[in-house]
Amino acid sequence: MALPDLSDMASFGSEWPLLLECASPTFDAQRLVGLARPADWSRLLALAEKHAVLGHLAVRLHEADENLAPAEIRETLLEYHRAQVFSTLGMTAELFRLLELFAAKEIPTLVVKGPVLGMQAYGDPTVRRYGDLDLLVRQRDIRRATESLQAVGYMATVPLSAIDAGKIPGQYLFSKPDSKLLVELHNDFTLRYFPRRLPLEKFFARHILVRLDSHEAPALTVEDELVYICIHGATHFWERLSWIADVAALVTRQTGIDWMAVTEAAKEVGAERMLHTGLRLATDMLHARLPDTVLATVEGDVGAAKLAASVRTWLIAAGNAPPTLLERAVFRLRMRGSGFSAPAYLLRLSLSPTEEDWKQGAPENRHGFLDALHRPFRLARKHSRGSKS
């Protein structure tokens, strides 16, 4: 069926509260049953798909009452779960193939988000949906990593000539012609939405191993992962409920979090406000549990409260009614904090070209200054009102 305008929250007055309850790590089964009675299940399913929380919906309905939803909805969710299991198994197998490939080439690698976050936040990598594998690789290893991936059939969106010319994209993206799987390589040069440079060497030094299907994957500590996903959510204006659900699940399930380490990690990259916004959304909307001292700090950040309020005005639309160009600029200013650092951060993002700013032709022949001048105009066209980008 055709969905009404996703930006009209009133039209989802029954389905949205139910979806929030399903995405909460501390859901109340009795409350969930009550919210389910007036819900339109087809609309709920479509809304869950848009927000990438079909896995959360399936798990919660099963835990509350497996007969709560109509038979056809249960069958749809069962089919989704089967597909997600097979997808996750395939992606996890490919992840370890790539880790072995890079290890053979002596290319140190860390896994972020994806199945590792699924294990850390939910204890099950099949709950959260993901379509790519995100890896951290040092810049000095990017060329060899690119050659290695190309040797096993991956196509690179950033050519070796651009790498040799010192061009820095937003990400090093790889795909396979016969697969929907994407691989993204990141590092302290590409992750420009971190207010300060990513402390990549510290990430490698304090990394942990996360067990996946009888194998161990090198990953960020829980504390570093929490800061990372809060910056990621802020980068994308928290337009998907799944990103908030990840934060809520991670801080609720991981009871041994070193909150002093979290604070220091956020402070090191200038992301305190981004962290507080993510935690504020997770507690206010999904009832995540935080220690009293941490909660007091989060609630005391007035700027984070304002950012969270802004997110709630566009969240339900799942990117179908994105913030305007002015709203985006104001949000980025506020999420950095106050003083000179905020406009400096916005200016850097506005003038730091990525692969989208490289014009037609060989990117290595383009002058970076021209790309930087082109970027603000491209962003203005991309994010003008009416754009669904």
Q: pLDDT tens-digit profile of 285-339?
A: 999 999 999 999 999 999 999 999 999 999 998 888 888 888 988 999 999 877 7
Lay out the sheet containing 110-112: strands in order across: 155-156, 172-175, 182-186, 132-136, 110-112, 215-219, 208-212
First to last CA, the chain: 24
Neighbours of 318 (CB within 10 A): 21
Closest-CA residue to 232 (of 171, 292, 286): 171
Angle between the N-to-C axes of helices 15-23 and 272-286, in degrees from 0 to 180, rounded to the nearest 10: 120
Is 327 exposed, middle or buried (CB count within 10 Å of its CB: 0-12, 13-18, 19+)?
A: middle
DSSP character at residue 69: S
pLDDT in tens, 210-226: 999 889 999 999 999 99
Which residues pair with residue 209 across a beta bridge?
218
The pTM assigned to this predicted structure is 0.90
Report residue 344's pLDDT band, with 50, 70 and 90 as the boundaries: confident
pLDDT in tens, 77-134: 999 989 999 999 999 999 999 999 999 999 999 999 999 999 999 999 999 988 899 9
